[in-house]
Amino acid sequence: MNSFNDVFKSGFLDSLNSFSVLDVVIALGVSFVMGLFIFFIYKRTYAGVMYSASFGVSLIAMTMITALVIIAVTSNVVLSLGMVGALSIVRFRTAIKEPMDIAFLFWAIAIGIVIGAGLIVLGVAGSVIIGVVLVVFSLKKEVDVPYILVVSCADKNAEETAYEIIQSDAKKSAVRSKSVTKAGTELTYEVRLKNENTDFVNKISSCSGVNNVVLVSYNGEYMS
């Protein structure tokens, strides 16, 4: 009569061949295609300041690696317990700068899990739907792009003159910060331009008492 350990070991050895090479190739191939699709959507909808091509490639790799891990986990119970223990000590310390990057990471991992579990139709259909939603929402960009305007003034008169020009030439404006020192005053405005016209920056710069003017595109939401 076989002991429990013998039965357990026998089941372990038998389960090593519970998946075929063809299944692995198909899963990795589909996960690669889905990773490329996620990478394309990421590149198409990216709205951050600095685009990282390496992050896009990592989405492809993460999809394939996750699918491979799930194939191994679903093929053997003992191996799954070992992987859980091994993966529990992994720590990722790379800072995520864009909130949408987190969504793409979870998307890649989720598709890898689904494909690794053999639900290829669900993975493909879900990816298409998510991709369409992200593209549709990325097309609905704001008409009025926000800008940050920094004006360094030497005195009160220059400050008032700059404010009048901003009020007359900008579509919208709001003071975000004001720093006063003995050398002068530095004002930070959030402005919305009229037809993307930046000529008012030259007007402000030419005013007496204005030391420096900087206009920077800002990818944020302060104003409603």
Q: Enumerate the domain spans of the chain.
A: 4-139, 146-217
Local structure of residue 90 (DSSP, 8 states): -
Check if the beta carbon of residue 187 is closer than 8 Å to that of residue 177. yes
pTM of the model: 0.59
Provide block-wise average pLDDT over 10 residues at a time, the chain (224 residues): 49 54 85 92 76 81 87 68 57 66 87 87 90 83 72 86 85 84 85 80 85 76 40
What pLDDT, on the 0 to 100 scale, is given for residue 78?
59
Local structure of residue 149 (DSSP, 8 states): E
Four-CA torsion 24, 28, 111, 141, nearest 10 degrees? -170
What pLDDT, on the 0 to 100 scale, is given for residue 170?
82
Pick the CATH number of 146-217 from 3.40.50.720, 3.30.70.60, 3.20.20.140, 3.20.20.70: 3.30.70.60
What pLDDT, on the 0 to 100 scale, is given for residue 97?
67
Check if the beta carbon of residue 20 is closer than 8 Å to that of residue 109. no
Check if the beta carbon of residue 166 is closer than 8 Å to that of residue 191. yes
